[in-house]
Structure 1
């Protein structure tokens, strides 16, 4: 684990030297000291916030994954997801060619039923399984669009766009930047052809996520607001899917604002999202199927508020928010979101100086969503920090005991 931190530091140093940049210039660009850069390049300081990692990568003009060595090296059995990712890439590349599909594609209503399985897998953070399902479903949705007309054709494109969104989420979780970029492009293309008034905003929501990789905070906020405006009228009318998308976009904007250092705006965005979540609970009638697969609820707003506090390095505020959050609110969330939440709490406790609580939260996150947590750079960074601190503490205890025993005398 500690060697991984050193490798990240060496990659940062090589990228900096490749640009002919001094440590002092790099530090100035990051708003840090030269000493901080020196320690980071030697693996003594962790890039323990996504916003910080992305800012470092942006200043070096590389992808964040290039610095942290992601996808991570693991056993061959754990790398089989890349076979599915390649199959999805192949389907997405030939999006405007005649689909290769034997037989007659099922109607859109049946394909929507297939996406419910993807919802369950996504909620369980089973990202490898998500990728395994998608090649055939993308191919069939595209085939349906080719042979149908009118509303049925639009629905086929909507299924295709939502499948792109599932692939996008899994690719982010597993560390496949090419698949991330291509699914985002194809989602925007198919959303425009779908006739679904909310789907283009969902595609923009995906693009905002991608803008974070290059630390384009201003652009990500501008795009969030563009998408919010596109669903504003339906939100004002209380259309359930528009309310869900509007609130989710506000959460995206809150994270962007936090990473940009705009504390008051980040908190305002959280409150806007909280209002949208409250409106959802007031909706009368049978629940509306979340065809866009946007995990939006009062609980999700609360864990985003905690995450936003951490992005602004306010760990005590994050822990205070968690103490005021009912356990039933967290337990109602899918495993994917609960895993992220306990990962955040691990970081908060570590920064607050309680390594035992930090490790406990990290273990809880891993037990809930193992695939997600083991592949997440912040979880790995948190664990490295705990290991390093424990070793340093042990060394200090041994030194003091050695002095008392006069072992060096």
Structure 2
């Protein structure tokens, strides 16, 4: 684990030297000291915030995955998801060619049921399983769009766009930047053909996530606001799907603002999201099928508030928000969101000096969402910090005992 931190530091140093950039110049752009950069390059300081990792990568003109070595080296069985990822990429590349599909595609209402299955897999953070399901569903949705007309054709494109969203989420979690980029592009294309008034805003929600990789915080906020404006009228009218999208975009903007150092704006965005969640909770009417698969609820707003506080380096505030949040609100969230939440709490307790509590939260996160946590750079960073602190403490105890025993005498 500690060698991984050293390797990240070496990758940062190689990228910096390739640009001919002195340590002092990198430090200046990051708002850090030259000593901080030196320690980071030697693996003595962790890049323990996504915003910081992405900012370092952006200044060095590389992708964050290039610095942290993602996808991580795993066993052959654990790497087989990359075969499915290649199949998905193949389908996305040939998006405007006649689909290769034998037989007659099923009606849209049947394909929507398949997306419900994907929704369950996503909630369970089963990203490998999502990758394995998607190639066939992409082919069938594209075949339906080719043969159908009218509303049925629009629904086929909507299903294709939602499949892009699932591919995008799984690719982010597993560390496949090429699939992330292409899924986002194809989602925007199919959303425009779907006839779904909210779907383009959902694809912008995806693009905001991608902008984080290059630390384009201001652009991410601008895109969020454009997407919010596109669903504002439907939001004002109380349309549940528009409320979900509007609130989810506010959360995206909150994280962007926090990483960009705009603390007050981040807090305001969280307030807007809370208001949207309250409106959604007050909805009375027939059940609404969440066709866009956006996890938006009061609990999701709370865990984003905690994450935003951590991005701003306010672990005490994050822990306070957690103490005031009813456990039932967190328990109602899907495993994927709960896993992120406990990862954040582990980081908060570590920064607060409570290593035992940090380890307990990390263990909880792994138990709830193992695939997600084992592939998440911040979870790995937190664990490395815990291992390093434990070894340091053990060495100090042994040194003191050695002194008492006069082993050097």
TM-score under structure 1 length normalisation: 1.00
Q: CA deviation at 1:287?
A: 2.1
Matching residue of 2:172: 172
- In structure 2, runs of 5+ residues without a counterpart are none
Q: CA deviation at 1:193?
A: 0.3
Question: Is 1:38 the equivalent of 2:38?
Answer: yes
Question: Is 1:278 the equivalent of 2:278?
Answer: yes
For 1:400 and 1:39, the matched residues in 2 are separated by 26
Q: Within 5 Å, give how 1:189-200 maps onto structure 2.
A: 189-200=189-200
SS at match of 2:58: helix
Matching residue of 1:377: 377
For 2:156 and 2:13, the matched residues in 1 are separated by 48
Question: Is 1:201 the equivalent of 2:201?
Answer: yes
SS at match of 1:78: coil
For 1:358 and 1:309, the matched residues in 2 are separated by 17
Matching residue of 1:353: 353
Matching residue of 1:54: 54
Stretches of 4+ aligned residues off by more than 6 angstroms: none
Q: CA deviation at 1:402?
A: 1.3
Q: CA deviation at 1:302?
A: 0.2
Matching residue of 2:105: 105
Q: CA deviation at 1:408?
A: 1.3
For 1:224 and 1:284, the matched residues in 2 are separated by 28
Matching residue of 2:79: 79
SS at match of 1:77: coil
Q: CA deviation at 1:3?
A: 0.3
SS at match of 2:285: coil
Matching residue of 1:265: 265
Q: CA deviation at 1:286?
A: 2.1
Count the aligned residue pairs: 409
Matching residue of 1:291: 291
Q: CA deviation at 1:285?
A: 1.2
Q: CA deviation at 1:273?
A: 0.3
For 1:286 and 1:328, the matched residues in 2 are separated by 24
For 2:249 and 2:211, the matched residues in 1 are separated by 14
SS at match of 2:77: helix
* 1:110-165 CA-partner distances (Å, limit 9, x unpaired): 11011110000000000000010000001000000001111110000000000000
Matching residue of 2:363: 363
For 1:281 and 1:383, the matched residues in 2 are separated by 37
- In structure 1, runs of 5+ residues without a counterpart are none
Q: CA deviation at 1:318?
A: 0.3
Q: CA deviation at 1:83?
A: 0.4
For 2:340 and 2:156, the matched residues in 1 are separated by 32
